[in-house]
Amino acid sequence: MTASGKYSVLMVCLGNICRSPAAQAVMQRLVDARGLTERFHIDSAGLGGWHVGDLPDKRMRVHARPRGYELNHRARCVQASDFEDFDLIVGMDAGNVDELCDRAATIEQQNKVVMMGDYIRRYPHYDYVPDPYYEGSEGFELVLDLLEDSCECLLDSILQQNNILQ
């Protein structure tokens, strides 16, 4: 829990322009819908710096909009202080999680890292959120389907483990 009393979650992918800003928006809406806006801080960041300062990929924004998500996050890189500042750091796939664990300075920081795929319930063929960057439209829809499912499960798990009352 941060000094502000908010539980903070950092969504992480490679570029911070497709999966993690979408995950941030999906989780924020769930938190808001449950009346928990003041109890959470949700952010996202990327492991690579290619798109720092950019809005999310146009294709991701176009696919997110009909579902009611306006993606306006500006891409930023994961930084050392994130491992201190956030309660939970969520990688989208195993590569993200390995890299995050490598960058963590302590075991305590490593223990903050989880994989979004572990929270997928309704899509048993997926245990990670695949990178849509080189895919077609279906890849972006799939990312949103997987995130809408997994974020709900992740939020339930956070609430339960931290005794946060709704």
- Contacting residues toward ligand 4NP, per CB under 6 A: 13-19, 50, 131, 133
Please identify the residue of the shown chain whose CB is closest to the bound ligand 4NP.
Answer: 15
The structure tokens 């063929």 sit at: 125
Active site residue 82: no
Q: Between 19 and 61, whose beta carbon lies closer to ligand 4NP?
A: 19
Active site residue 13: yes
Within its chain, how far is the Cα of 33 from the centroid? 17
Distance CA 51, CA 49 (A): 6
Report the nearest approach of ligand 4NP to the CB of residue 106 (Å): 26
Q: DSSP character for 35? A: T
Q: Between 14 and 146, whose beta carbon lies closer to ligand 4NP?
A: 14
Report the nearest approach of ligand 4NP to the CB of residue 111 (Å): 23
Distances (CA, A) of 2 to 33, 58, 116, 125, 130: 22, 33, 22, 36, 30
Q: Between 15 and 112, whose beta carbon lies closer to ligand 4NP?
A: 15
Catalytic residue among 19, 57, 93, 151: 19
Beta-sheet strands, E only, within 4-163: 7-13, 40-46, 88-91, 113-115
**Which positions are catalytic?**
13, 19, 131
